[in-house]
Structure formats: structure tokens, C-alpha cells
Amino acid sequence: MKLIKEIGEFLARMDSRVNNLRLPKFLKVREDLSLLGRIMVRVLRILIVLVVIGVILYLGYCFFSIGPRPASSNPEQQLIFPTVVPTPTMIQNTNPWKDVEWMTQADAQNLRTQQNVINLAYLQAGGAEYSQNLSIIFAPGAPWRQTKPLGMESLSVSGTSIAFSAYGNTYVLNVYQPFTFAENPEKVIVVDMKGGVWQADASVLKTVSVGEATPALPVVVSPNPDLTFSY
């Protein structure tokens, strides 16, 4: 406020000199010049203070937004941003049937005319592969449990033939014939004469030859001319 007052006084004096059309005396001019000098000095001080405040604010912004630089010139002690290098993830093959020997298409087609076809079946994309001589003996109870397997939908039983849909495909097999889906090969499924669906973990089941499993069948399985074909 004092600065503004002094500027007003100076302007009033200058206006008075112009109105009187008189040249100021040397002493008066010196006094005015002295007053103008004081005003300029104060203005300069204010500018200097503003510049210093601006510099302090800028340095504070840089310090808190970027963070302090390490004092040491040793590269090992300086800030290091780790680089993430992607590494391939190995996917373990958990298909327990990858080493099974499967029938040729001709041999699989011949199964349609045979009794007691209970060869292990591997179902995939609407087709079926049949083990050359492996099967699994089924008996209600552990490790088997009656359930609705994942992906398996409608099911019908006609005599000793079963028809069902799963994963968008339709399959025809026999009762008591163990089968598994390519989508979930770690589970083995069996359907009994009443349409009960049983499932067990492949890891706890023992595979036997078809000849060894046949005597354990509770019924004679008739030939199935609609048995799903191997592609």
C-alpha cells in the first residue's frame, strides 16, 4: 500500500508541473528523481522475490515428482529399473492315454459286428478311437462315483447301446465300455444298464486287457452297428 501511495504522489506532482507549465526547480526535480528511484528499487526487489519463489517452487516440483538422484556416482548404487524379460512357460502334457496303441479304422469298424466290445474309447470331435486291447473293470463304488461329467449332456440307453451328446458332438458306445473325452482325458466314464453315469480319475484306475475285463461284465453286450466310427 505504501508503494501505491508513493506512485500516486509522484504522478500528482508531475501533473501539477504540467498544469502550471513551469519547469521544475533543480532541487524539486532531484527530489522527484529520488522518489522515482526508490520506487524502481522496490519494484526490482519485488521482482527478485517473485523470481526466487518461482525457482524454489520449480525445484520442489522436480524433487517430489522425479525423486532424488543417487548421491553416489557408482552405477551399482544408482537407481536401476528392472527389465522384465518374458520367459516361455512349459505346458506339461497330462494326457494319460498318449502312449496307448489305437486300432486302425478297419479294425475299429469290425467292432460293430462283435459282442462284448468294451475297449477303452477316446472321444474327440465326434469321432472315437479304440484301444487295441485295453479296458477297465467297472464295479459300483470307490473310486467310481455317480455324477454328471463336465461337458456331457443328453443320454439315452437302448438295450446295451448308449447314445449321448457332449461338447457339441454325438457319440454311440456300449454300456460298461470305459471312455474319456479329449477335452478332459484325466477322467474316465462308464454308463451302466440303468443309464447311471459313473466317473473316476484315470490316475487311480488300472487298465487290463479286454479278455480280462470281459468276465466281469454283468450282461452280454450285443453287437452295436451304430458304434461311433474312428476318423
**pLDDT tens-digit map of 101-130:** 999 999 999 999 999 999 999 999 999 999
| Helix, strand, coil content of the chain in percent (nearest 5) | 35, 20, 40
User: What span, in angstroms and rounded, lies between the C-alpha atoms of 93 and 182?
Assistant: 12
| Per-residue confidence (pLDDT) for residue 43, from 0 to 100 | 81
135: CB partners within 8 A, 6+ apart: 118, 119, 120, 177, 178, 207, 208, 209, 210, 212, 213, 214
Beta strands 127-130; 145-146: pairing state: unpaired
Res. 223: pLDDT tops 90:
yes
Q: What is the pLDDT of residue 6?
A: 63
User: E-assigned strands of the chain?
Assistant: 121-124, 127-130, 134-135, 145-146, 152-158, 161-166, 169-174, 179-181, 184-191, 197-201, 208-209
pLDDT at 197 over 90: yes
Q: How confident is the model over 202-219, as a mean pLDDT?
A: 94
For residues 196 and 129, what is the distance between their CA atoms, to the nearest angstrom? 23
Q: 126-137: per-residue pLDDT in tens?
A: 999 999 999 999
Q: What is the mean pLDDT of residues 185-214?
A: 94
Residue of 83, 207, 82 lying closest to 134 (CA atoms): 207
* Grid cell locating 33: 528523481
What single-letter amino acid sits at 223? P
